[in-house]
Amino acid sequence: MTNDAASPDPTPPPVDQLDLAAVQAQLSRTPRGVRRVAHRCPCGNPDVVETAPRLPDGTPFPTLFYLTCPKAASAIGTLEASGLMKEMTDRLKTDPALAEAYRAADEDYRARRDAIEVLEGFPTAGGMPDRVKCLHVLVGHTLATGPGVNPLGDEALALLPQWWKSGPCVEPGAEPAA
């Protein structure tokens, strides 16, 4: 798995049309606010995109790193259904070192988003810094930034199967699913 870039650029180059087509096929809809591919799956497709803090229509969108791969999203959904988010949230209340590292992950996420545009009064995403609300966001953060930035994203990623082993979720240039 590779990161296309580790830090936000206020004016990234245009996203490749094949990458946009792959993301559209993954999401089964036209992607909105895509700034760049933040991470690529070993299969070569994007699996995390960096989105603008505001969508083209001006709507605030605080989720900077958006997981697009349906195979990864499904595997993460299985983790969420297992009760892992509650377990992680409970650990934040009893493990000061974990809580501090998770607060630092929140600060990293916010700094990366704010380097593009400040969304005054909006939280980061995924429940940070006090709880775990969405593992998709935490894993997206880990994939986009690399290990060691988001401890709970790191943990969730380590629990996932290798979703790419059975082949890409979509073929490059594929049409969106109906």
pLDDT, one tens digit per residue, over 63-86 is: 999 999 999 999 999 999 999 999
Range of the domain at 134: 23-62+83-159
Say how many C-beta atoms besides its own lie within 10 A of residue 88's C-beta: 21
Average pLDDT of the chain is 91
- In this structure, what token pair is assigned to residue 105? 């992950």
Is the residue at 6 inside a domain?
no
Quick one: pLDDT band at residue 173, thresholds 50, 70, 90?
low
Residue 152 lies in a domain: yes
Q: Which residue bears the tokens 């009064």?
A: 121
113 falls within a domain: yes
In a domain, 52, yes or no: yes
Establish if 127 belongs to a structural domain: yes
Q: What confidence category does residue 121 fall into, taking pLDDT thresholds of 50, 70 and 90?
A: confident
Whole-number Å distance between alpha carbons of 178 and 175 = 9
Tokens of 89: 């949230």
Counting the structural domains of the chain, the total is 1
Please return the burial class of 14, using the count of CB atoms within 10 Å of its CB with bins 0-12, 13-18 and 19+: exposed
* In-domain check, residue 41: yes
Query: In this structure, is residue 107 part of a structural domain?
Result: yes
pLDDT band at 10 (very low <50, low <70, confident <90, very high): low
Q: What percent of the chain has pLDDT over 90?
A: 83
User: Residue 95 domain-assigned?
Assistant: yes
